[in-house]
Amino acid sequence: MHLIFKRILAFVIDLVVIVLYALVLFAIMMILSQTGIVTLGTVHPLTGQLIGFCTLTLPVILYFIVFEAGQRHATLGKRILKIEVTGDEITAGQIILRNIIKFLPWEFAHAGVLWINYIKTPETPLWLWVLLIAPQIVVIVYVMSAVATKGSRSLYDMISGTRVRHVVNHLPIILPALVLQTIGESFIQ
């Protein structure tokens, strides 16, 4: 299977982990809202941004950093698809930089969504449009740069001095991984 497709499928697998975690956070927020501890819609965007960063974005970034800086240099999705993050002499600093740059558009988009729900003006300010649209453009650049390098490097890999490559010397971590890999390969072919 081509590396670019493995990267996309690996991210989808990691996204499932992220969504499951986000659903737990959502359930907690609904419980807090139902009990009157938190009143949704009254939180200032800066407070919401801080709460969102600490409870969602930071744990997600740490998930990627811990697994990619670990012995196998791969998140769950990458391990299942037998790919890893590498570099000439890969360091924890490179992995941290890689993932901060990777998720920066996500955090800016969160800020845009929080502010658009808070501002009560007839017209959306230009700065808010930039906050909402720029992350989408950056993500498209990330994908295009990965496609241009046949999956080995995205823009955040280039900046951090990392790359992604196939790994042939380790086994998938769980039996369902074999099923996912087989389904993924047949889907792409």
Domain boundaries, the chain: 3-171
Residue 188 confidence (pLDDT) = 56
> What are residue 165's DSSP bridge partners?
84
Helices (H), 53-167: 58-69, 76-80, 92-118, 126-148, 155-160
pLDDT of residue 119: 86
Chain centroid to CA 129: how far?
Answer: 22
Q: pLDDT at position 85, please?
A: 96
pLDDT by 10-residue block (mean), the chain, 189 residues: 92 97 94 84 86 95 96 95 93 96 95 87 92 96 95 96 85 54 58
Which of 53, 35, 73, 102 minimizes the C-alpha distance to 165?
73
* Two structure tokens written together for 115: 């502010």
Nearest by Cα to 18 from 75, 69, 81: 75
